[in-house]
């Protein structure tokens, strides 16, 4: 009743998957490229937004003004233009 040592095991033949066709390879490349573009987008867009914010603030600091002051001056110009009409 001891079935543990009946004999040597035979090697199992593994079937290899068929090589992908050109269309499947193109689909895989496209999927990888889209995934890479999404990852780059999620990384680069916030960096660009923060850089734009810092650049605008640096520009206002270099000119010695602030966004609020520029807005107030634009509203004054608008009021003057409305009085002329």
Q: Within 13 Å of residue 52, how many CA atoms lie on the same side as its CB?
A: 6
Q: Please give the biggest Cα pair distance in the chain.
A: 111
pTM of the predicted model as reported, rounded to 2 decimal places: 0.58
- Dist. CA 37–CA 26, nearest whole Å: 16
In Å, how far are 31, 72, 75, 76 from 60, measured between CA atoms? Answer: 43, 14, 18, 19
Residue 62: alpha-carbon gap to chain centroid? 32
* Per-residue pLDDT reduced to its tens digit, 53-78: 999 999 999 999 998 999 999 999 99
Check residue 14 and give its pLDDT: 86
Fill in the DSSP letter of residue 7.
S
């Amino acid at each position: 009743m001891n079935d543990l040592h009946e004999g040597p095991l035979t090697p199992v033949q593994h079937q290899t998957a068929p090589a992908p066709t050109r269309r499947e390879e193109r689909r895989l490349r496209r999927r990888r490229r889209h995934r890479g573009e999404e990852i780059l987008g999620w990384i680069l867009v916030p960096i660009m937004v923060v850089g734009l914010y810092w650049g605008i603030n640096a520009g206002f600091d270099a000119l010695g003004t602030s966004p609020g002051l520029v807005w107030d001056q634009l509203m004054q110009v608008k009021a003057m233009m409305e009085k002329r009409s």
